[in-house]
Amino acid sequence: MTQDSTSLDSLRREIDSIDESIHDLLIQRSALVERIANAKGETITVLRPGREAEILRRLLARHRGQFPRMALVRIWREMIGALLAIQAPFAVAVQSSGRGPDFIELARNHFGVVVPLQACRTAGQVVRAVADSEASAGLVSMPAGIEMADEPEPWWASLAVGSGEAPRVVARLPFVSPPLSSGVAELPQALVIACRDHDDTGDDRTLVVLETGPDVSRDRLRAAMAAGGLESAGLLAICRRGDAWLHLIEIQGHVAVGDPRLARLAAQREPVAHVSVIGGYATPLPPESIP
């Protein structure tokens, strides 16, 4: 045996030993998640998107060496998805209209190969599947502009009338943007909904629906929000409900349903007659942070 093949053999034995350590740790992690699942008890969903975001941010911040960050994310997404599925029956309803195949890919990349995906034609059907507990979570397209929906009302407006048990937005995908495939001009953006509140991870956006009369400018809305102590990060979409206009607005930071700033905004009465928090998400990592 040559010197080279001896050292190759010994390097491979080291790799075998590392693989076994990784495997043992995976088995240990899985056992810990089972204990977490027992501790969660009767909660409505096992999904904790804020915790998932914190895990990925922490690992990416400490990462070093040649192993690609995108591959690190992929491994953890696969592991977390599999560990969601061992905690409870877990399925994701995915909107198949519009950029349907892209949304399926987005859901697969995020939830991994184990979690079953259920195609639903419209976003409204995804909301209903989650509300009726036919799916544990749903993936719907990121609203943009004035909604010309194939439903009486865009999906996000239906969340604004929901009770505490109704689906809410809990995550935005992709959390870490993969490189664009050839021929794809831009990545699809989607929101994850589930029957739980959005988490506070320290770097978040909140989605609110503001109800106003007609002809309220963006500047006026922004000023009313600022007077209430809320910083708008942008108007995502608007739609009409009878004589009222509904504005879907992204707010900087985590704002919980009972936040006094929302009450201050609604107390002004003009221009905002009503405010509903429909969820929020951990701010996705900028693509440039994943070289």
Ligand X SMILES: O=C(O)C(=O)C[C@]1(C(=O)O)C=C[C@@H](O)C=C1
Residues that bind ligand X (CB under 6 A): 33, 36, 46-48, 51-52, 55, 80, 83-84, 87
Q: Minimal distance in Å, beta carbon 111 to ligand X?
A: 10
Q: Minimal distance in Å, beta carbon 25 to ligand X?
A: 13
DSSP assignments along 69-82, one per residue: HHHHHHHHHHHHHH
Closest CA to 127 of 76, 225, 288, 135: 135
Long-range contacts of 67-72 (CB under 8 A, 24+ apart): 69/176, 69/290, 69/291, 70/176, 70/178, 70/179, 70/290
Query: In this complex, which beta carbon is closest to ligand X, that of residue 52 or of residue 211?
Result: 52
Cβ-proximal residue to ligand X, closest one: 48
Q: Minimal distance in Å, beta carbon 61 to ligand X?
A: 17
* Distance (Å, whole) CA 289 – CA 291: 6
Query: In this complex, which beta carbon is closest to ligand X, that of residue 47 or of residue 190?
Result: 47
Q: Minimal distance in Å, beta carbon 43 to ligand X?
A: 10
Query: In this complex, which beta carbon is closest to ligand X, that of residue 82 or of residue 237?
Result: 82
Q: Minimal distance in Å, beta carbon 225 to ligand X?
A: 31
Query: In this complex, which beta carbon is closest to ligand X, that of residue 83 or of residue 207?
Result: 83
Q: Minimal distance in Å, beta carbon 107 to ligand X?
A: 15
Query: In this complex, which beta carbon is closest to ligand X, that of residue 153 or of residue 203?
Result: 203
Q: What's the first-to-final CA gap in the chain, in angstroms?
A: 41
* Distance (Å, whole) CA 289 – CA 55: 16
Strand-pairing partners, residue 252, are 205
Closest CA to 51 of 162, 196, 230, 255: 196
Query: In this complex, which beta carbon is closest to ligand X, that of residue 36 or of residue 263?
Result: 36
Closest CA to 191 of 206, 209, 210, 203: 206
Q: What is the 3-state secondary structure (H, E, C) of 156-167?
A: HHHHCCCCCCCC
